[in-house]
Structure 1
Amino acid sequence: MKFVKNYLIPRLITYFLVIFVGITMVFFIPRFLPTDPVQQFIARFTTQGVYMDPKSVENMISTLKQLYGLEGSLWEQYRDFLVRFSKLDFGPSYYQFPTPVKTLIAQSLPWTVGLLLSTTLLSWVIGSILGGFAGYYPDKKWVKIVDLIAMVIRPMPYYILALSLLILFGFIFPIFPVRGGFSIGGKIRFDLYSIVTILKHAFLPALSLLLIGTFVWFQGMKLIVQTVKSEDYVRYAKYAGVPEKKIVYQYVIRNAMLPQITGLALSLGQIFSGALITEMTFSYPGMGTLLYNAVFTGDYNLLMGITSISIIVITTSVFLIDLLYPLLDPRVKYK
């Protein structure tokens, strides 16, 4: 009962409060933008030479306001938004009208999750392991080699690395496709050909994310381990004759992993907002491309749908890590 009363309930309250504040900002911020999706929709018809009499324009504006949740006062719109949010109904998309927002998200989300989830987890594991041993054994030759590679790749702007891989393996040595997530006009099936095709299209964007991510986690973990290594309890363990293997795994790396785990939770949440630069560089059909189109066209509904899902996932990730922290760190107790 103490766990529920003193630990779980306060964090649940904070969890729902953060989500409420987040989706409230998602609702109000787009409405302060200078773009009006209804007027843009009407202007698009006008520029295409379509004539509409004033009565038809009024009827269309009324219908569009209802579809986009812009009908009534601001507080009435906010109330309707909360009701629709509870059903994950964000209405139709503007730039792909009349396709519902949840349909577009359902189509793009698997591409982003598959690409970024795998690369985030893999880079975190590789970077944390290499960084842990590099921080504890800084004089090893392989550490100096990895440090040198990290010094070259880590400061490099991401788009430079992505374009370099694209030019090298897409044009100079045309091994992998340079755009898209699947063959143009092809149908995805659960067979070997489809799996190989998807992996070939995802290789270059995955490699670019993996290289940057691995060395980010590597350098962070290395610095943390070097700090933990100099703590008094580690020195005392050495003087007390504790085996070095036990010191490395249970005293140093275990404590150094705590900030890394928190960072992983935030990274896992952020993958749902998509890797914008990655997907634009490689024309990958994920959430980043969808988010770019939503911002470019001023699509209120799509913006609110993507950011709302991102807020929920990030907050949930942090909440779950917060609940698991006492299992990972004995200094934290369920009080």
Structure 2
Amino acid sequence: MNFNVREDIIQMTSLWKGERFPDGRPRVADKYLKALESLTLEEVWKPIFVKGYENQFEGRLRLLHNDGRKLIGRAVTSVFCPTRPDLHAMAMEIGRSEGRNGTYNQWVVDSLVEGDVCVADMYDKIYKGTFLGGNLTTAIAKKTKTGGGVIWGGIRDLEQMKRIKEVQVYYRGIDPTPIREFVMTGFNVPVRIGNAVCLPGDIVFGTDAGVLFIPAHLVEEVVEGAVKTKVKDMFGFEMISQNKFTTAQIDKNVWTVEMLDLLMEYIEKNEAAAEFRDMDWSQEYSLARQENADHMQSAL
């Protein structure tokens, strides 16, 4: 048993082919994190869901700052279990041999770099399960600049934490007790946050509604797909209001060639859609033609 093992992280995120951090986590480019800031949860969620990633969202979390901000960053994961003396002794010995100091949650926060988000599965422990308080939240703000935390467990020092404006934290509950009686069983490993699964290096996309974990290897495709969803929604709202298409037609995953032609015309002529004029829609046209061919074949 070792913590934050580079080789293991690379193996579990093998679909990622780009740059990596020294610990092995995928380093999704900053430009994609920036692009996500203007997108909605549903726009980002859809491209993931249709690819079979159905366990990426959790909405049963409380927010430190309920002011409409988003939390977007790269996941540093950790998982814990209730204490057991022999397991705790072994884990602490391993940590010391790896040069780690303090408590388990301090190990995790100490490892953070700019743009990171701490994602911790505290098995929904709130009493003596307060993973973050004023001190560690201050440390997160300094280390990550724009990051924060997603804690399937508790926090404490809420008033102090709320004064720290640079971070956003999602959590399950509040308790004044300090963190006690728990053991780290994994550091930068797959973790479960309620109904969602997060791998190290996933992109955390937190909104008022909850948290979505975007697999690193899908981020580029997701951003492009989400942007396309955005302009299709703009076009769709107008078409529905003009009674040109029904909601059933607009909500279809594959649009007809006729609908796509009208969308291209809308993008070209509407200044509100000017930012979308350089996008490639060849895949959508290909799918539309294939679906039409399939319909014709089935009618024979």
Indicate the structure (1 or 2) with the bigger Cα radius of gyration. 1
What TM-score do you get using the length of structure 2 for normalisation? Answer: 0.20
Q: Which has the higher strand share?
A: 2
TM-score w.r.t. structure 1 length?
A: 0.19
Larger relative contact order (Cα-Cα within 8 Å, sequence gap ≥ 6): 1
